[in-house]
Amino acid sequence: MTQEAGPTALRSSPVPVRGRIGQLRDRASGRHSPLRRLDWTLQLCVIGLSVVGALLVWSATRQRLGEAGGDPQTFLKRHLLNLAIGLVLGAVATVVDYRVLRAYAPFVYLGSLVGLVAVLLFGSTINGAHSWIVLPAGFQLQPSEFAKVALVVGAAMILGEQHEDRHTGIRRSAPGHGDVLLVLGLTVVPIALIMLQPDFGTVMVLVFTTLGMLAVSGAPRRWVLGLILCGVLFGGAILQFHLLQPYQEARLTSFVSENKASSGTGYNVAQAMIAIANGGVTGRGLLHGQQTQGQFVPEQQTDFVFSVAGEELGYLGAGGIIVLLGVVLWRALSIGFASQDSFGALIATGVVCWFTFQSFVNIGMCLGIMPVTGLPLPFLSYGGSSMFANMIAVGLLQNVRLRSRSDPYAL
């Protein structure tokens, strides 16, 4: 355990110097308790987003469920249940010291690979992707969501390792070539497995997360630039030689094509844009969006949940969601910034890259400026696995935060 003071911490510690008794009391229940030192802004934003998500999912599904004779609140309840389970999982991820977690990182990583292999063997196909393991009682598990967490932890372990190995007092400035290669290897395996499902969106999340972590870790510049170049060339080759399934290619290209109103993927986007535009500044009011209640936007409780926000909550509501996401990402980056070690900083970086990419692509898709890739919007889209993975990621952020300060009372 590092007992280093935090001369590098930019912020002055909010903890005033006190007497020992006061410190003990504070530790028990006061402002220095771990509970207090959690980043509550982050946590409240996340919970707020999830609750808004629950309302949007409810609005998106109650009509259909009601018509089918089911309980109109099914999805609302499930989303809230997912949130609760997610919070528990997040708490676990917070409590275990991430430096201990690092020791188990290989197991976390291997566990996620097992899940990815299992889904290929026992999984079910939904919306063209073989990504789900169907569990009893109507629950489904999507191992690729957890692969995101595993990759973040695994890559952070390797890229952050150098700094911990030698207590020479001189930090090595960057991971070496070997580390970069190892991280690439670590990324390629889950990517290959997810490609087999195929779930192109998740693959892109993993690619950008790894790239972001490599860039921030201080990996050699030519690696970062080279990888970006490779990505561009690879992407060009995919489109040039039609390596994707036609429906995948259509999803990617439909956002630049003119005729969005036709059926197919362009239809989803066109309907989503209509819904959002109809929200105006103040929105139609929850449960009162005509597009939403007419169920014009397919997948409106999952990938296109933002269209519900756009129509029913308007610019104020949908913009508010973007702001909340911004606060989450801002806080996450601050946590990384304040982290004692590279491992913590890289975990935060990885989570930020993951959330940012997913949010931008998802909302951008609803707004017609990004291709349709089938990625959920963090915290808002309905989906258990996604919610759990997101909450574990938030838990990890809190974990890093708790242990980031020059804090004599750190756990």
Partner 1 sequence: MNDRMRIRVLLLRVLVLSLLATLGARLWVLQVLDNDHYRQVAETNRVREVVTPATRGMILDDRGQPLVRNRTSLVISVNRSTTDRQADHGKAVLTRLATVIGTPADELTRRIRFCTAQVKPPCWNGSPYQPVPVAKDVSPQQALAVIEHPDRFPGVSADLQAVREYPHGSLAAHELGYLAPVTQDQLDKQGDEKGYHLNSLIGVAGLESTYDDELRGTDGVERLEVDRFGRVAGTASTTAPVSGDHLVLNLDLGVQQATEQALQDTINQLGGGNRTASAVVLDVRTGGVVAMASLPSYDPSVFVGGVSEQDYRALSDPANGIPLLSRAYQGSGAAGSTFKVVSTAVAMQNLGAKGDQLFDCAPTLQIGDQVFHNFDGESAGPITLHRALVISCDVIFDQFAYDSWLADGGLRNGRGPYSPPKEYFARMSEAMGFGKATGLDLPGEAEGSVVDRAGARAIWEELKDSYCRRAKNGYPEERDPVKAERFRKYAAEACVDGYLYNAGAATQFAIGQGQYLSLSPLQLATAYAAIANGGTLWKPTLAKAAVAPDGRVVRTFQPRKAGTLPVSPEILAYIRGGLRGVTTEGGGTATGVFADWPSDIVPIAAKTGTAEVEGKGDTSWFASFAPADDPRFAVVVTIPDSGTGAEYAGPVAKRIYQAIYGVGQAAAMPGGKPPGSLPKINRDGTIAATSAADPFTPSPAVSTASTSRTVPPVGTIVAAPVSAPGPGPVTGPSAGGPLAVLPALSTTADAARTGPALATGATGPAVWHPPPGNAGRPAAVGVLSSAPSRAPPAGTARP
Give the phi and the psi of residue 305 in degrees, each rounded to 5: -65, -25
**C-beta closer to partner 1: residue 180 or 297:** 297
The only residue of 46, 105, 205, 363 in contact with partner 1, by rule CB under 8 A: 363
Per CB under 8 A, the list member of 115, 143, 336, 384 interacting with partner 1 is 336
CB of 349 to partner 1, least distance (A): 7
Cβ proximity to partner 1: between 23 and 360 the closer is 360
Judged by CB under 8 A, the residue of 277, 286, 287, 410 near partner 1 is 277
Minimum CB–partner distance for residue 130 and partner 1 (Å): 23
Q: Which residues of 383-397 are buried (b: 16+ CB within 10 A; e: fewer)?
A: bbbbbbbbbbbbbbb
Site for partner 1 in 368-397 (CB under 8 A): 368-369
AA identity, residue 189? V
Task: List the beta bridge partners of residue 134.
Answer: 140
How many angstroms separate the Cα of 255 from the Cα of each of 130, 243, 259, 261? 24, 19, 9, 11
> Does 59 participate in binding partner 1 (rule CB under 8 A)?
no
Task: Tell me if 291 contacts partner 1 by CB under 8 A.
Answer: yes
DSSP letter at 11? S
Q: How far is the CB of 399 from partner 1 (least distance, A)?
A: 16
Nearer to partner 1 by C-beta: 112 or 271? 271
Among 43, 265, 342, 373, binds partner 1 (CB under 8 A): 342
Q: What is each CA distance from 81 to 76, 94, 134, 255, in whole angstroms?
A: 9, 20, 18, 34
- Rounded-to-integer distance, Cα 63 and Cα 57, Å: 11
The candidate with the shortest Cα–Cα distance to 127, out of 199, 206, 65, 53, is 199
CA atoms within 13 A on the CB side of 110: 5
Per CB under 8 A, the list member of 48, 295, 406, 409 interacting with partner 1 is 295
What distances in angstroms separate CA 287 from CA 16, 59, 215, 353, one per listed residue?
49, 5, 43, 33
Nearer to partner 1, 150 or 329 (CB): 329
| Residue 168 contacts partner 1 per CB under 8 A | no
Q: Does 339 bind partner 1 (CB under 8 A)?
A: yes
Indicate the pairing of strand 140-141 with strand 124-126. Answer: unpaired
Indicate which single residue of 133, 215, 286, 287 sits in contact with partner 1 (rule: CB under 8 A): 215
Sign, CA dihedral 402-329-379-303, equals negative
User: Of 19-27, 97-105, 112-120, 352-360, which segment contacts partner 1 by CB under 8 A?
Assistant: 352-360
Residues in touch with partner 1 (CB under 8 A): 8, 163, 171, 173-174, 212, 215-218, 271, 273-281, 290-291, 294-298, 310, 314-315, 318-319, 322, 325-326, 329-330, 333, 336-337, 339-342, 344-345, 349, 352-353, 356, 359-360, 363-364, 367-369
